[in-house]
A and B are shown apart, each in its own frame.
Chain A
Amino acid sequence: MAAHTLILPGDGTDFAHWRGLARWLWAQQIPPEEVIWLTEDTQAVAPDLFAPAPEVSALTSLPGRALTVPRTWLAEAEQCLLNSDPSRFALLYRLLWRMQHEPALRHDLLDADQVQIQHWIKAVRREVHKTHAFVRFRPVALDDDPLDGSGPLYVAWFEPVHHIVHAAAPFFVKRFANMRWAILTPQCSLRWWPEAPDIAALAAQGVLPGAAVQPLKGRPGVLSWGPGASAADAPDPDAGEGLWLTYYAHIFNPARLKVAAMCKEMPRKYWHNLPETQLISPLIQAAQARSAAMLANAPTTTQRRLPRQPQAQDPG
C-alpha cells in the first residue's frame, strides 16, 4: 500500500524541504495514503523497522503540474511543521491533496483535517508565547569584549515541547537588543552578540556562517545557534533571584486561593524551570491558616499617632 517512504532532514521543520517533497508527490499524483513521512531525528532514536528503504533519488525535476493553495496557507503550514506531532507531515499533505480536489475546502474551517491543523498551529503559537513568558535569565559575569558587548551574560535554560526556539528568538532580540544573552534548550542553543558588527567577525568564537544571522538592519548584533545543551550547562540561582522569590511570595493573596486557575495558565510541565514554583506548595499549605487568622483576629484599635485631619484645601 504505502509505496513511498520519505525521510525529512533533522527534526523535519524545514518548510522548503517539505514543500519540495510535496510538490514532487503531487507531480507524480501519489495519493496521501501511499506516503510514509519520517524524520532523521526520530529514525536515529527509534528507527521504524518496517519502513522500506527511503527514496533519495526521487527529487528529479518533473513536468510541473499546477498546485494551488491560498496565500495564507503557506505561512500556516510552515507554523504547523513546528509542532512535534509526528503525523503533521502526512496530514498537511492530505489537506494539500484534498484542497486540489475540493475547491470549497479552503473555506471550511470546521472540516476535521482543518480543525486538527489549526489545533496544532495554536499549540505552536501558545508555546512561543509561553516561551516569551517563562524563559528566566540568570546573570553570569563575563569580560567585556568590543565584538560582543559589555555587562553580564544572561543565560536561560528552557525545555520546549515543540520546535519553537527559532520562532521565539526575534522577541528576545528586539527586547534585549543591548544585552548579552543565551538561551539553552535540549534541541538547540541561541546566543546573542549585541555588538558584533557582522557574522565573519565572530569566526574566532566558533560561530559558523551557516548558523548565524544578523537580523537587525542598520545596527550590529548577531544571533548564532548551535547544538543543544543540558540543564547542567545553565547557571545556578544567584542572590538577585531571592528578591524575585520574595516578591512572588508577597504578591500572593492567601484569602483567594484558586489553584486550578493558576495551573491552567502555568501548566506543570513548565514548573521545573521556574524558580518561583518551589514556593507554590508552601504558600498553598499556609493559605488557609493565614486567611482564617485574618478572619478570627479581632479588629484592633490603632496604635499609631494619627495626623490631624487635613484642613480644607488652600483657598486658592
Chain B
Amino acid sequence: MELQTKLAILADAAKYDASCSSSGSAKRNAVAGGIGSTEGAGICHSYTPDGRCISLLKILLTNFCVYDCKYCINRVSSNIPRARFAVAEVVNLTLDFYRRNCIEGLFLSSGIIRSSNYTMEQLVGVARTLRLEHGFKGYIHLKTIPDADPGLLAEAGLYADRLSINIELPTVQGLAQLAPEKSSATIHQAMGQLHDHIATSKAERKDASRASVISMPQSRRTRPTAPRAFAPGGQSTQMIVGADGADDGDIIVTSSQLYTGYRLRRVYYSAFSPIPDATADLPLIAPPLVREHRLYQADWLMRFYGFEAHEIVPAGAQGKRMLSLDHDPKLAHRERFPVNLNTAPREMLLRVPGLGVRSVDKLLAVRRWRQLRSADIEQLRVPMNKLLPFVECQGWSPGRSLDDPMLAAKLVQPMAPKPVQASLF
C-alpha cells in the first residue's frame, strides 16, 4: 500500500483523540547533536477547520484491532479500510514533517494487534528509534496499553515525554457496557504504576540536583548526571462525553479523582462524534460540542481557580447534575455577587465571570498601591457586559442590575446552539 494512502487511513483513525498538547516537558535542544527541541510551552503549528490545533503528528501505528469498543471507529466489527505502518515509516514521516517545521513531535497510538505486549513493543520501538538512532529531541506522546507488561511501560517512559491511558468512559458500568474487553481496574492500576514511576523519577532527580558538589581548586565543577526523567510531561487521559448516560457530575467527580489520585496533567473530554460505519448500539447525534466546552471550563476552574467539584455542578432536575449549556459555570452562585474589587480576597475575584487569573493578579498588584476606580475596569480589556453586573469599586456599583430578570438572557453566550435554517442540500 502506498505511504500516502496509509497516512490517510491512519490519520482518519486517530482524529478522535482530543489531545495534541506538546507542553510541560523538560527543556532540550539539538545544540549537542541530533534534531529538535522542547521549550516547556508547546507550539501549535496549524489549525484545522474543526478548531483543533495540530501540534503533533497524531497517527495510529495500525488501525487493525481485536477489541470491539462500541464508540470506536477502529473496533473489530467496523468495515473501514485498514492499514499498518512499519516502524521506519513512522520514524521517517515524523522526521520529515519536523524538518519542515510542521509539527512539534509525534503522538502515537495503536489498535491492539496480536497481544497487548506485542503492540506496546512496537510503539516503544518507534520512540526508541527516534531517540537513540536519530537523536530526536522533539516531543513524543505514547498511548499506553494498560495491560501491557510493566517492563514495557517503564521503557516507554524513558523515551516518551508524555504517556497516556484513556479512561474512555467516566463510569465503570459505562465501560463494561460499551468496551467489554477493557477493564476499569486494569486502567486504574496502570495509571497508578505510571504515577509511581513519574513520582520516583522526579524525587531521584531532585535529590541528584541537591547533592553538593565538592571540587578541587581550579578543577572544573562537575555534577554527576541526573538520572533520566520518566515521562517529564506527565500522564494524561481522555473521556468520551455523550456516548453513555453519565451526567456532568459523574464526569467532573471522576476527573477530580484522577487529578488528585494520579496527579494527571490533563483530562481531555471528547464529545462523542458520529463516525463512518457506526454501530447500531449508540445514538448517532451531532457531537455535544457545547457540553464538551462547559466541561473544559469546569475542569479549568478546578485546576487553576480553586473551585471544588461540588461547587460547579449542583444537583438539577431529576437528580441529573448537568452544567448549564447557556451560561458560564461561574454563574452558579447568585449570593456571592457583587464582589468589591478593592476588598475581595483573591479566591473571590477568581470567581467573578470575565476575570481570569492574569486580570486578577493585575488588580491585586495595583490595589496594593491605590484604590481601584471604574476607569481601571476598562483598562483590564475584558468583556464589559459580562463583568460589570458582578463587581463594584470606586465610582461603579451595579445597583439592581444583578436582579434584572433580563440579565440571564443577556449573558447567554453566543456559542449555545442557535436555531438554524434547514439546509437545502
B395 on the A face (CB < 8 A): no
Chain A residue numbers with a CB within 8 Å of B102 are 136, 244
A241 on the B face (CB < 8 A): yes
A262 on the B face (CB < 8 A): yes
Q: Are A299 and B31 in contact (CB under 8 A)?
A: no
B418 on the A face (CB < 8 A): no
Chain B residue numbers with a CB within 8 Å of A241 are 100
Chain A: CB-nearest residue to B361:
A109
Q: Are A175 and B30 in contact (CB under 8 A)?
A: yes
Contact pick for B77, options A132, A249, A266, A302, CB 8 Å: A302
A284 on the B face (CB < 8 A): yes
A260 on the B face (CB < 8 A): yes
Q: Are A247 and B274 in contact (CB under 8 A)?
A: no
- Knowing A243-B7, A265-B44, A289-B425, the reply to whether A135 touches B284 (Cβ < 8 A) is no
- Knowing A216-B31, A304-B79, the reply to whether A252 touches B366 (Cβ < 8 A) is no
B307 on the A face (CB < 8 A): no
**A176 CB to closest chain B CB, in angstroms?**
7
Chain A: CB-nearest residue to B274:
A294
Q: Are B277 and A300 in contact (CB under 8 A)?
A: yes
Contact pick for A243, options B31, B37, B45, B93, CB 8 Å: B93
Q: Are B76 and A266 in contact (CB under 8 A)?
A: no
Chain B residue numbers with a CB within 8 Å of A306 are 68, 76-77
| Docked complex Cα distance between A258 and B286 (Å) | 13
Interface size range on B against A: 35 or more
Contact pick for A304, options B33, B57, B77, CB 8 Å: B77
Q: Are B274 and A248 in contact (CB under 8 A)?
A: no
| Docked complex Cα distance between A135 and B99 (Å) | 11
- Knowing A256-B50, A261-B51, the reply to whether A247 touches B370 (Cβ < 8 A) is no
- Knowing A139-B99, A175-B37, A246-B4, the reply to whether A104 touches B31 (Cβ < 8 A) is no
A40 on the B face (CB < 8 A): no
Q: Are B54 and A251 in contact (CB under 8 A)?
A: yes
Chain B: CB-nearest residue to A132:
B43
Chain A: CB-nearest residue to B280:
A299
B122 on the A face (CB < 8 A): no
Please provide the chain B residues from 259 to 287 with a CB less than 8 Å away from any CB of chain A in the complex.
Answer: 271, 273-280, 284-287
**B243 CB to closest chain A CB, in angstroms?**
14
Task: Identify the stretch in B12-20, B215-223, B313-321, B328-336 within 8 Å (CB) of chain A at 4 or more residues.
Answer: B12-20
Please provide the chain B residues from 20 to 54 with a CB less than 8 Å away from any CB of chain A in the complex.
Answer: 29-37, 39, 43-54
B348 on the A face (CB < 8 A): no
Chain A residue numbers with a CB within 8 Å of B54 are 248, 251
Chain B residue numbers with a CB within 8 Å of A51 are none
Q: Are A107 and B99 in contact (CB under 8 A)?
A: no
| Docked complex Cα distance between A287 and B286 (Å) | 13
**B257 CB to closest chain A CB, in angstroms?**
27
| B-contact 0/1 string along A284-305, CB 8 Å cutoff | 1001110110110101101110
A129 on the B face (CB < 8 A): yes
Please provide the chain B residues from 178 to 229 with a CB less than 8 Å away from any CB of chain A in the complex.
Answer: 181
A257 on the B face (CB < 8 A): yes
Q: Are A262 and B274 in contact (CB under 8 A)?
A: no
Chain A residue numbers with a CB within 8 Å of B381 are 115, 119
Q: Are B362 and A303 in contact (CB under 8 A)?
A: no
Chain B: CB-nearest residue to A116:
B379
Chain A residue numbers with a CB within 8 Å of B3 are 243
Contact pick for B35, options A115, A178, A307, CB 8 Å: A178
Since A115-B381, A171-B37 are in contact, a sample of 17 more A-B pairs with Cβ atoms closer than 8 Å, ordered by chain A residue number, is A133-B46, A134-B46, A154-B99, A174-B29, A175-B37, A240-B96, A243-B3, A247-B7, A247-B57, A248-B54, A256-B273, A256-B287, A276-B46, A284-B49, A288-B423, A294-B284, A307-B76
B→A interface (CB under 8 Å): 3-4, 7-8, 11-12, 14-16, 29-37, 39, 43-54, 57-59, 66, 68, 76-79, 93, 96-97, 99-102, 147, 181, 271, 273-280, 284-287, 289, 362-363, 365-366, 368-370, 372, 376, 379-381, 423, 425
Question: 12 A-B Cβ contacts within 8 A?
Answer: A104-B369, A109-B366, A110-B376, A137-B101, A178-B34, A243-B93, A253-B16, A259-B51, A266-B47, A284-B49, A299-B284, A307-B76
